[in-house]
Amino acid sequence: MAMTVKLKVWRQAGPKQAGKLVDYTADQVHPDMSFLEMLDVVNEQLIKKGEDPIAFDSDCREGICGICGLVIDGIPHGPDKGATTCQLHMRRFRDGETITIEPFRAKGFPILKDLVVDRSAFDRIIAAGGYISMNAGGAPEANNLPVAKDIAERAMDAAQCIGCGACVAACKNAAAHLFTSAKISHLGLMPQGEPEARHRVVRMVEQMDAEGFGNCSNEGECEAVCPKEISISNIARMNRKYLKAALG
């Protein structure tokens, strides 16, 4: 049965303009619609009326690319645990419910328009050290470099980070430690990433600080909202490696 929901959506014409919450009504919403499909329908109606559609980011719409990201009723990516905004469905809401939709808010993520923020700071953190160097050529024999199963699994768990930024949006300090530590673990735990390990942690942490992200005070909000359930144990590992590299 179709539902009607009331929306309070953050509208902001540009990076320097003031923004505000604007009320909309979305009717004929099917419970099986995704949250973003519901916004598509609202936008079609706005376009028909000659109004500016609501700007929001999305790409894969299946939880892979990390592009989507809305704060829904105060929670980055909304109420479903371990899921992105694009994986959220309207059946999670009640008929007649009011839903507040805001952008990810952080000094390191300036708002570009409405619900779209600039997350290029994450690209610069990756560029600072998120790589390995090795001789190009044919693929080496896999058995030449044995990797313990638990190490490989920890590296692969960290590699699941999709760079969405929800961890920053959830943190009262707007810290980017969960993202940065996931990238450092993903590369640094594997033997292929060992040669740059010391420089990587120093460069990426310094870039993270330079981008204006805050300090970590172990709140744990980042882990709670992370759609890939990245563990905060990565932050402890990053801090240990950073201290060792900085002191050594």
Shortest CB 52 distance to ligand SF4, Å: 29
Shortest CB 108 distance to ligand FES, Å: 20
Q: Does 26 bind ligand SF4 (CB under 6 A)?
A: no
Select 58 or 185, whichever has its Cβ closest to ligand FES: 58
For residues 150-169, which are near ligand SF4 according to CB under 6 A?
Answer: 161-167
- Dihedral sign from CA coordinates of 200, 206, 207, 212: positive
Shortest CB 127 distance to ligand SF4, Å: 16
Q: Does 227 bind ligand SF4 (CB under 6 A)?
A: yes
Q: By CB under 6 A, which span of 86-94, 128-136, 142-150, 221-229 interacts with ligand SF4? A: 221-229
Shortest CB 161 distance to ligand SF4, Å: 3
Q: Which residues here bind ligand SF4, judged by CB under 6 A?
A: 161-167, 178-179, 182, 226-228, 230
